[in-house]
Amino acid sequence: MAAAAAAGPSPGSGPGDSPEGPEGEAPERRRKAHGMLKLYYGLSEGEAAGRPAGPDPLDPTDLNGAHFDPEVYLDKLRRECPLAQLMDSETDMVRQIRALDSDMQTLVYENYNKFISATDTIRKMKNDFRKMEDEMDRLATNMAVITDFSARISATLQDRHERITKLAGVHALLRKLQFLFELPSRLTKCVELGAYGQAVRYQGRAQAVLQQYQHLPSFRAIQDDCQVITARLAQQLRQRFREGGSGAPEQAECVELLLALGEPAEELCEEFLAHARGRLEEELRSLEAELGPSPPAPDVLEFTDHGGSGFVGGLCQVAAAYQELFAAQGPAGAERLAAFARELGSRYFALVERRLAQERAAFLGCLTDVRQALAAPRVAGKEGPGLAELLANVASSILSHIKASLAAVHLFTAKEVSFSNKPYFRGEFCSQGVREGLIVGFIRSMCHTAQSFCDSPGEKGGATPPALLLLLSRLCLDYETATISYILTLTDEQFLVQDQFPVTPVSTLCAEARETARRLLTHYVKVQGLVISQMLRKSVETRDWLSTLEPRNVRAVMKRVVEDTTAIDVQVGLLYEEGVRKAQSSDSSKRTFSVYSSSRQQGRYAPSYTPSAPMDTNLLSNIQKLFSERIDVFSPVEFNKVSVLTGIIKISLKTLLECVRLRTFGRFGLQQVQVDCHFLQLYLWRFVADEELVHLLLDEVVASAALRCPDPVPMEPSVVEVICERG
């Protein structure tokens, strides 16, 4: 310590540090003390290394360092420091040594105190433990006494316990017996209250016991009573079951109870089905009534909905109840149920089919509407029903009908319907059922219905109004051009047809529709041609051509023909385009007039009846025909107005020609024909595609009339013209 005191202060705790006060000094001091303890215990290195702020620990001049060498330190001080500083460090050193001494003293005191108190505590503990041991001994003896007592009590109570158990058993038995004795009255009460389920349960519980002890007279009596009551119960149940008014679940309950009562299942099964049949047949009847002969039939969806919830639901319920009740019946029972369901089901489906058949007639309904619409304006005396509007109406109503049907059918493939995922509904249903069966079938049946108008036996005209033919023809043509492909695209989109069944291609349907349209239009031409033909024919056949007067006028029938043709022209113009006609000069009527009045005059109007003469006329007409094309009277028409009109006029004029050839004409008769033909020529050429055709036919008419005239003196062309212009 002397060395340390001589050594003076360390650089870290130099004289500048003193003003820091006792707080700053205290940790410093403690550290020093620790450092010395550590030094003592050999820990110095590790601890010293942990001290960051210290100077080199190996420095022998470090007062606090482990390798402090007092000699070196003193040498250093002596060599380096002036006297004043040496003095200072000496005082400092002394002061430090004193502080250290007092510290040491305090520590020793503190530790000594602690040691003393610990010794006291240990002595006290020794005392306590001794006391505790005594207590434990006492506890052990007490426990032994308790055990002894308990054993003695148990031995005493043993006897009583057995008796109590026995008594409890007797009590239960007695209660059972009481139940048995009360059973008849209870059953009666239950039956009276209608708690059949309870009664059956009681009976079921008692049955076995009574069976077992029936040799005892008392039990015998109870059993007999019970049997009587049970019989009555069964009776009542049956009664209720037969009344049938109650719903299916109640009936099922009845049957269940009866089964529990041990009634013959076979018979019950029959009866159950009979009742179910009665109910379901009622459903069917109500459905049938809805169908009815009078057609205020509800919507088809409503109908199927009704059928589905009423009949199908009922049938399902019956089947479920049956299977639950008569599961024990085995395959025979199942067989019976299947037969039952099959029969009723087939009747139901027959009804549904009938209903759907009515639905099919929708197109016919449309047609009826159109017919009425066509007939109505005429009754009202209006001119020209709006054919185009009607067409639009029909087309849109049919289209909306198809869309509605598609939407209705689409429900079957909706995602939320459970069976829509079955392969049938994904594949065959879409392609075969909907596309082929519904849409293609509809288009086909439409074409078929339309075509049937062409084949109707009433060819004399009355059956089908010509305007309807025209309208349908246009409708079919529209279908061919647009609607069919539209509908089929719509269908294909809605029902992603994804299987490889062959489907009818659009082109086939289009061809069918076009064919229908063509036939309808051809028929229209025939019908209208026939109307005009009849008019011309009557006019030729009923007139006395030999004694007719010199013509002054065009005959009224010719004017009528022109009027009617104009009307037809207007009618067709409403629905069909104009079409192309051969370009010809507008005043060609005059030109052709000269054809038959000049070129043929010599040959035809002056026939002589010598054998050689006909050769000339034949030759002439044949030569002319060589240069003109053969006229195909009922040739197929094209879809335009001009072609239709040409067809009608051809038919009419050909009729006129044939009729004229069957008559004999006087001079004025011939002239009248001449006038009539010229008149027709003036007005008809504008309607036809090739006016040459009209000229040719009219030419032929006049030539034929001339040939059929014993005194053929034709009228002057100028006079003919004057008459025609006047008329």
Residues that bind other proteins (CB under 8 A): 457, 459-460, 530, 546-547, 609, 611-612, 614, 618, 621-622, 625-626, 630, 632-635, 654, 658, 661, 664, 666, 704, 710
Contact 261, 200 (CB under 8 A): yes
Say how many Å lie between the first and final Cα of the chain, rounded: 168
Asked whether 388 and 373 are in contact (CB, 8 A), the reply is no
- We find the least distance from the C-beta atom of residue 511 to other proteins, in angstroms, to be 21
Q: What is the DSSP letter of 611?
A: T
* Cβ contact 687:565 at 8 Å: yes
Nearest approach, Cβ of residue 550 and other proteins (Å) = 13
Distance CA 183, CA 225 (A): 9
CB of 284 to other proteins, least distance (A): 39
CB 646 within 8 A of CB 693: yes
Two structure tokens written together for 244: 């049938």
CB of residue 654 vs other proteins: minimum separation in angstroms?
Answer: 6
Residue 572 C-beta-side C-alpha neighbours within 13 Å: 28
127 or 547: CB nearest other proteins:
547
Nearer to other proteins, 435 or 523 (CB): 523
CB of 363 to other proteins, least distance (A): 26
Q: Strand, helix or coil at 723? A: helix
Closest separation between CB of residue 544 and other proteins, Å? 8
- Residue 613, SS3? helix
Question: Closest CB to other proteins among 372 and 612?
Answer: 612
Residue for token pair 């109707």: 456
Nearer to other proteins, 48 or 705 (CB): 705
CA 198 to chain centre: 48
Whole-angstrom Cα distance, residue 470 to residue 518? 10
Q: Smaller CB distance to other proteins: residue 314 or 666?
A: 666
Q: Residue 506 corresponds to which tokens in the numbers above? A: 């659009």
Surface-to-core class of residue 616, CB atoms within 10 Å of its CB (0-12 exposed, 13-18 middle, 19+ buried): middle
**Smallest gap from residue 700 Cβ to other proteins (A):** 9
Report how far apart, in Å, the C-alpha atoms of 711 and of each of 491, 504, 530, 667, 675 are: 72, 66, 32, 5, 17
Minimum CB separation from other proteins for residue 600, in Å? 13
CB nearer to other proteins: give 121 or 622: 622
Query: Smallest distance, Å, CB 519 to other proteins?
Result: 12
Nearest approach, Cβ of residue 582 and other proteins (Å): 22
Token readout for 432 is 């075969």
Angle, helix 387-410 to helix 484-494, in steps of 10 degrees: 20
What b/e readout covers 438-472, taking b as 16+ CB neighbours within 10 angstroms?
bbbebbbebbebbbebbeeeeeeeeebbbbbbbbb
Residue with Cβ nearer other proteins (474 or 519):
519
| Closer CB to other proteins, 191 or 702, in the complex | 702
Q: Which is nearer to other proteins, 249 or 636 (CB)?
A: 636
CA–CA separation, 67 and 55 (whole Å): 12
Q: Phi and psi for 551 in degrees, rounded to 5? A: -65, 135
Half-sphere exposure of 552 (CA within 13 A, CB side): 1
- Going by the DSSP 8-state scheme, the letter that residue 60 receives in this structure is T
Cβ 362 to other proteins, closest distance in Å?
A: 30
Kindly state the smallest distance separating residue 689's Cβ from other proteins, in Å.
18
Single-letter amino acid code for the residue at 628: S
The amino acid present at 269, given as its one-letter code, is C
Residue 423 beta carbon to other proteins: minimum distance, rounded to whole angstroms: 44
Contact between 671 and 715 under an 8 Å Cβ cutoff? The reply is: yes
Nearer to other proteins, 355 or 518 (CB): 518
Token output for 704: 């034929």
Dist CA 261 CA 269 (whole Å): 15
Task: Pick the closer one to other proteins by CB: 462 or 502.
Answer: 462
Task: Identify which of residues 260 and 633 has a Cβ nearer to other proteins in the complex.
Answer: 633
- Cβ neighbours of residue 542 under 8 Å, at least 6 residues apart? none
| Smaller CB separation from other proteins, 40 or 627 | 627
In the bound complex, what is the minimum distance in angstroms from residue 661's beta carbon to other proteins? 7
Q: Which of 221, 5, 7 is CA-nearest to residue 99?
A: 5
Nearer to other proteins, 207 or 621 (CB): 621
Separation between Cα atoms, residue 552 and residue 571, nearest integer Å: 32
